[in-house]
Structure formats: structure tokens, C-alpha cells
Chains A and B, each alone.
Chain A
Amino acid sequence: MSLSLSLEDLSSPAGQPSTIIEVRKLVKRFGLKTVLRGVDFRVQHGEFVALLGPNGAGKTTFLRILASLSRPALGEVLIAGYRLPVQAASVRRILGVVSHQPLLYGDLTAEENLYFYGRMYGVEGFKGRAAEVLELVGLTLRRRDLVRTFSRGMQQRLAIGRAVLHDPEVLLLDEPHTGLDQDACAMLDRVLGEVATRGRTVVMTSHDLARAADLASRFDVLSRGVIVASAGRAEVPPDQLLSFYRRAINGKGGVA
């Protein structure tokens, strides 16, 4: 099966071709604490959504549910027409995830890590593909070095390479710029820009409003477990994103 899937390839009776992510009334609880309180969220195919919000708003929990790593208490999650958690394996095939941790093995080299994930995702010709991805993230010269000798920024670069290794249809990024130096941030921005121009869908959490303003086509604000504001790039110009964000988290609303 091609991993360069068109939406028609992915559509199923449960989904609509133009909507790739649909979340309805999502609730997540950890014990007595309710982290997500009925989130409604919809992403169109090819959109680049910046999910903004203060610490503890539930952004990471929300992304973990989309990534099928966490099971919601209530609500519905459909990705490319596949329903979570029932069709999780089909969803995982089209997802690339960059989380807070690089998900890499310190006792393997950079290329061995990519070989491993290439096998796990069933990437044909994974060795050649790994070489291309290492070139993309600027780690070709360090490909045979153990990952435990890498700096945080280099590990994050490799984590981004791991996430795009199987050319996913949807990229979920949890604060991907954390720990990266300026060059690495520029590299990541170029990769994400290219991903977006190829019609891939990106959902990225971030505290960096300037970078979100540069990259995203839509801004959603998650606060106290609900989406409190949502606006497209046309409605919120980059220089007004900060005031939009502040109004949203202070409960004064945003462009819905």
C-alpha cells in the first residue's frame, strides 16, 4: 500500500473526504481530574493547525489521544474516516508524531534508529529512505554515532526525521521547536513548510506564537480543557495573534 495516500484512499463510510480529523465532545479524565471537557475539533485535509494554550491546558493529552496513545473517556475521534480506538492500527499508519521525548534508542546509532522504525512501519527500501531523511535533517555525518552522544537539539532533529520517515499523511507535533538551536529551527520550519505545501495535514502545539504565526493556516486555542477560540490565518494576521491568544485565554473569546 502506498503511504503517499490520497484522501480518497483513506476515506471510509464513517468519514467525509474533506475532513481528515474530526473530534466530537471529547472528554478525558485522569482519576477525578477532568483534563479535556468536551473538545470539538475539526481539521480539513491539508490544513496546518497551531494548537495554542497555556501550560496544563490539555494540549499534550489531546495530541496523545489523536495519536492513539491514550483512550478518551467520552466522545468520538475520527481520523481519515477511521474511528479511534477501534481502528487505531489504520490510523497509526498515516500518522507521524513528534512528542516531548525523541522516542529514540540511545544505544543505537542514528541510522540504526531509522532502520528500526523503517521496519516497524514497513517502509520499503528503508535503508535508502533513512539515508535521505538523515540528509534532510542534517545528520548524515553523524549517522553512525550512538544517539546517546547527541545533544538535545540533534536528538530532536533525528526525532523529526523519524516522524517523516514513512511519509505520513498527518503530522502531530508537540512543541517541536523545544530544544532546537536557530539552524535546527530553520531546518524544521523548512521541513514543515514543505510538508504543508505537499497537502499534508499538520497539528502542532506551541508556545511560540511567532513561529505558529509563520507556519500555521489556522489557530486554535485550548484552555482549561476546551477549545475557546479558533480562527483562520485570514482572520488573524500574524501581528494580531498575541492579542487574539490573550483574549481567548482570558475568556473574552476569539474568532469562532
Chain B
Amino acid sequence: MKDDLQALKRPVYASQNSRFAYLRALGAIVWKDLAAELRSRELLSAMLVFALLVILIFNFALELDAKARANVTSGVLWVTFAFAGTLGLNRSMSQEKDRGCLDGLLLAPVDRSAIYFGKALGNLIFMMVVEIIVLPVYSALYNINLFHPGLILVILLGSIGYVAVGTLLASMAVQTRTRDILLPILLFPVVIPVFIAAVKASSGFLQSIPMDEIVPWLNLLIVYDVVFTALAFMVFDYIVEE
């Protein structure tokens, strides 16, 4: 320990550029979530095990021929992503709340939407990692080729919408005692448009339906992503403040 307490006498400087400060804070939150997850592997392992169990159970529960498999694939995939994603969203915010760290984030001198976008981006990365692992496993188990660029685009758009609204509602639910059950109750009704659009668009690409019939569903996904991201940007500050 220093006797002369030099550390307190040294001036410290912060950047004047608010846009840079915003991006720096956002990046710091993503870095922190990834670094903590690399150590603990609590969140990803829970999501991944759950997702793999769901597709295994569906595989054994539904004895399907080739045509039926193609019909149910998009539904099974999105049910898997939704349930695994809910686990991740709940865990991600409860880690902040349980350790009191949410206050630490809220005390930072940045626009609080940076906290939302940092957490949402971290959640999206975790969800994408799970999806990247689930897709080849599903392909092998169900003997279906899922590596279609259109399907990848749908998964990306659907995941963005799901995480955008999920992070916002998880921030709200984490303040309550019943957060574990409250999040899915709040989340699933609100993301129904995402699921419908994502399942329809995914089925369209897997069954080679004409693009004209798929585009409206893609548009719905894009509109939903934009609307809920903008909504979260506007209301996050009010949700997290007492």
C-alpha cells in the first residue's frame, strides 16, 4: 500500500467525444459479458444443453418421414431457440442484479441506452453461438440440409427481434421476485409476430417456396426489429430506474 497515496493525486481524464464514449461503454459491457462467460461458462452451457435436449426429445417423440420432417423443421428450430434464449436472457440480467452490478452500470456517466445495447449485443452473441452449434446437430439428427443462406438470414433477423424485446423485458422482470416465471409470461406473447414470421420464412426457404411469398415475412421481421430496438432505446432508462 502506498504511504503517500499518490494514486489520489494524479489527475484522470475522460474523452470529450460523447459518441465515442457511448461506443466505448457499449463495447466494455460486451467485453465484460464475454470475459465473464468464458470463465464461468454458466450461461452458454445451460442454453446449449437445453437446446440440444429439446431437439433430441423432438427427434425421439416425432417419428417423421422425410416430408413431415421438412414441414416441422422450422417450428422445432424456433421453439428450441426461444426456450434456450429465454434461459440466457434471464441469466444474463439476474447476474447483474444478484451481484448488485446493475447499479454499477447505471452509475456510469453514459446514456443508459448504451447499457441496453451492450447487454442486447452480448445476448445476441450467446444466442448466435447456440444456434451455430444447434444447426449442424439438427441437420445430422433429422437428415436435413439447413445450410441455406436465406435460412441463416431469417435466423439472424429473428434472433435480433427476439433479443431486442427479450433484453428489455428481462430488465423489467429482473426487478421482481418472480422474475424466472415472469419473463416468459411477458416475452412470449410479445414475440409471437417474430415467431410467426420466422417460422413462415424459414419454412419458405427450406421448401423452396417462391421468393415473392417469403419477402412479406422478411419485411415483418425487419419492421419488428426496428420498432422494438427503437422502443427499447426510448424506454430503457425508465424501466431500470426506481
A residues near B (Cβ < 8 Å) are 1-4, 64, 67-71, 85, 89-90, 92-93, 95, 97, 99-108, 112, 116-117, 119-124, 129, 132-133, 135-138, 146, 162, 164-167, 187, 190-191, 194-195, 198
Residue in B7, B9, B28, B111 whose CB lies within 8 Å of A120: B28
Q: How far is the CB of B45 from chain A (nearest CB, A)?
A: 13
Q: Is A119 touching B104 in the complex (CB atoms < 8 A)?
A: no
Instruction: Work out how many contacts link A and B, with CB atoms closer than 8 A.
Output: 140
List the 7 closest pairs (A to B, CB-CB), nearest first: A101-B100, A103-B104, A122-B14, A132-B7, A119-B28, A93-B109, A107-B36
Q: How far is the CB of B110 from chain A (nearest CB, A)?
A: 7
The answer to whether the Cβ of B212 comes within 8 Å of any Cβ in the partner chain is no
> Chain B residue with minimal CB distance to A132?
B7
User: 30 A-B contacts, Cβ less than 8 Å apart?
Assistant: A1-B15, A1-B16, A92-B107, A93-B14, A97-B103, A99-B103, A103-B103, A103-B107, A107-B35, A107-B36, A107-B39, A107-B40, A108-B39, A116-B28, A119-B27, A120-B25, A120-B29, A120-B108, A123-B13, A129-B10, A132-B6, A135-B1, A136-B5, A136-B8, A146-B39, A164-B7, A166-B14, A167-B8, A167-B12, A194-B5
Q: Is B14 touching A101 in the complex (CB atoms < 8 A)?
A: no
> Chain A residue with minimal CB distance to B106?
A69
Q: A2-B11, A99-B103, A108-B32 are in contact. Are A122 and B5 (CB under 8 A)?
A: no
> Chain B residue with minimal CB distance to A136?
B7
Q: Is A70 touching B14 in the complex (CB atoms < 8 A)?
A: no
The answer to whether the Cβ of B31 comes within 8 Å of any Cβ in the partner chain is yes
Count class of interface residues, chain B: 35 or more
Q: Is A70 touching B21 in the complex (CB atoms < 8 A)?
A: no
Q: Is B5 touching A108 in the complex (CB atoms < 8 A)?
A: no
Contact flags B36-49 to A (C-beta < 8 A → 1, else 0): 11011000000000
Residue in A3, A4, A104, A116 whose CB lies within 8 Å of B99: A104
Q: How far is the CB of B28 from chain A (nearest CB, A)?
A: 4
Bound: A194/B16 CA distance, A: 28
Q: How far is the CB of B20 from chain A (nearest CB, A)?
A: 8
Q: Is A108 touching B36 in the complex (CB atoms < 8 A)?
A: yes
Chain A residues with CB under 8 Å of B99's CB are 101, 103-106
Q: A136-B7, A187-B1 are in contact. Are A122 and B100 (CB under 8 A)?
A: no
Q: Is B110 touching A89 in the complex (CB atoms < 8 A)?
A: yes
Chain B residues with CB under 8 Å of A191's CB are 5, 8
Contact flags B102-128 to A (C-beta < 8 A → 1, else 0): 011111111100000000000000000
Residue in B8, B13, B110, B111 whose CB lies within 8 Å of A198: B8
Q: Is A85 touching B13 in the complex (CB atoms < 8 A)?
A: no
Q: Is B28 touching A103 in the complex (CB atoms < 8 A)?
A: no
The answer to whether the Cβ of B63 comes within 8 Å of any Cβ in the partner chain is no
Bound: A76/B24 CA distance, A: 32
Q: Is A97 touching B7 in the complex (CB atoms < 8 A)?
A: no
The answer to whether the Cβ of B242 comes within 8 Å of any Cβ in the partner chain is yes
Chain B residues with CB under 8 Å of A165's CB are 12
Chain B residues with CB under 8 Å of A194's CB are 5, 8
Chain A residues with CB under 8 Å of B100's CB are 99-103
Bound: A64/B103 CA distance, A: 10
Q: Is A69 touching B24 in the complex (CB atoms < 8 A)?
A: no
Q: Which of B71-124 contact A (CB under 8 A)?
A: 99-101, 103-111
Bound: A194/B241 CA distance, A: 33
Chain B residues with CB under 8 Å of A69's CB are 103, 106-107, 241-242
Bound: A12/B170 CA distance, A: 37
Q: Is B13 touching A120 in the complex (CB atoms < 8 A)?
A: no
Q: Is A198 touching B9 in the complex (CB atoms < 8 A)?
A: yes
